[in-house]
Structure 1
Amino acid sequence: MNEASDYGLWSLVFLNSAIFIFFAFSFVKPKTKTDWRSLGVFSAFIVALFTEMYGFPLTIYLLSGWLTEHYPNINFYSHENGHLLHTFFGLKGDAHWDPFHVASMVFIVAGFFILSSAWNVLHHAQKNRQLATTGWYARCRHPQYLAFILIMFGFLLQWPTIPTLVMFPILVVVYVKLAKREEALAISEFGELYMNYIKTTPSWIPNLNVNFEGKNNENTH
């Protein structure tokens, strides 16, 4: 780090990328090609994110003319001012405590919580060749992919960049396609059982009125 720039910190790029990818790996414990593919997609996003956060600020370079014109007194090569939403919305104080950063942490923590819970249920069901219908799978059919999307969206709120803004919708489409592929395999394996599961369980938006055993909370009182 030097006085003019807080970038070029490649050790932090490697360390932070490794930590979050390891967390995801430990929760997912990939076994199938689909597991590895979903983890690989997430890993690519994480590496791109931290490369811009600590390594090379591509977005700031590309927008340097516009940023200099509209924010002439701000050094965007300091880490604090790299929180672009904080600057664009004219927020004051520490960027790590602004509403965007706080919201980002909520999404990230929630995503990792769902990821850990959902994949434990999924792999237990796969081990016993059963359909996963408990835990977060009682609330929606694709909680593991929903978790990855929540985490990525959280990081976007915290540190939006051109590459990650471009990657995010593409990766969402990738996860949707992976989910459809998995559903086709599940239908071929479980048949009517999975079709009934589709009828009672939403695809992506969790039904929070259902508990982790698949029972409606309104009927448990």
Structure 2
Amino acid sequence: MNHSETAYGLWFLVALNSAVFILFAFSFFKPATARDWRTFGAFSAFVVALFVEMYGFPLTIYLMSGWLATRFPGLDLLTHDTGHLWSTLLGETGDPHFGVLHLASYVFLGYGFYLLSSAWHVLYHAQRQHSLATTGPYARIRHPQYVAFVLILLGFLLQWPTLLTLLMFPVLLVMYGRLAITEENEMRKQFGVKYDAYARSTPRFIPRIGRGAAEG
């Protein structure tokens, strides 16, 4: 195993990247309620766990080191490229940053942050007017902000999967699903039949592609 220097133990990069993405998401989401803070807190924990393994300590690589060394003889486990596990496991050659999955991750991340921003803009004005948010992304799905967080998390997983974030992902899906239902109950109490009509015509998470498509 030949490498001039490890790609890990870079705790400054852990802190810097975590702060950048968390503050970037915070600028769009702007949590105000306890529910908002739970949503944002779970997202932040995922981001920190991701960058700890990306630049700090590669726990997943460490736990899989025996199998990886057997499956891929000569693989340098301490290089940054090896941490892009999808690329490694698929046997791709070349710079993993230009792999199909990595490029796809940019699409998920970019659209996720765009959706988060668009949803917050609509929700902010609706809350100021004490009205129901039904325009912009809310015209397609009832919970665009939760969907945005899931898209961002998927983008991260396509770039740098770890055992911890892979375990956290389904837990966060369940959490966001429950928070969405809680939020709907609150909206139903506040807006009554108006919200019922909106809910009947607008899917929860997955937008309709064609007429008659089932509700998400």
- TM class, shorter-length: over 0.9
Structure 1: state its 5+ residue gaps.
210-215, 217-221
- 1:117-128 equivalences under 5 Å are 117-128=118-129
State how far apart, in whole Å, the 2-side matches of 1:8 and 1:104 are.
25
1:203 match: 204
The alignment partner of 1:30 has SS state of coil
C-alpha contact 1:48 1:163 (8 A) present in aligned 2: yes
1:107 match: 108
TM-aligned CA deviation for residue 67 of structure 1: 0.7
State how far apart, in whole Å, the 1-side matches of 2:182 and 2:110 are.
27
- 1:48-87 equivalences under 5 Å are 48-87=49-88
Q: Which amino acid aligns with 1:24?
A: A
Q: Which moved more, 1:121-130 or 1:110-119?
A: 121-130
The alignment partner of 1:90 has SS state of coil
Describe the superposition over 1:77-103 as per-residue Cα deviations: whole angstroms up to 9, x where unpaired. Answer: 100111011011111211000001000
State how far apart, in whole Å, the 1-side matches of 2:125 and 2:19 are.
26
TM-aligned CA deviation for residue 207 of structure 1: 3.5
State how far apart, in whole Å, the 2-side matches of 1:95 and 1:168 are.
23
TM-score by length of 1: 0.92
C-alpha contact 1:139 1:208 (8 A) present in aligned 2: no
TM-aligned CA deviation for residue 4 of structure 1: 4.4
Whether 1:10 and 2:2 are equivalent positions in the alignment is no
2:190 match: 189
Q: Which moved more, 1:104-113 or 1:75-84?
A: 75-84
TM-aligned CA deviation for residue 35 of structure 1: 1.5
C-alpha contact 1:7 1:57 (8 A) present in aligned 2: yes
Structure 2: state its 5+ residue gaps.
212-216
The count of corresponding residues between Structure 1 and Structure 2 is 209
1:98 match: 99
TM-aligned CA deviation for residue 30 of structure 1: 1.5
The alignment partner of 1:203 has SS state of coil
Describe the superposition over 1:163-182 as per-residue Cα deviations: whole angstroms up to 9, x where unpaired. Answer: 00000000111101110000
2:32 match: 31
| RMSD (Å), alpha carbons | 1.3
- In the TM superposition, structure 1's runs of 4+ consecutive aligned residues that sit over 2 Å from their partners are 206-209
TM-aligned CA deviation for residue 206 of structure 1: 2.2
1:161 match: 162
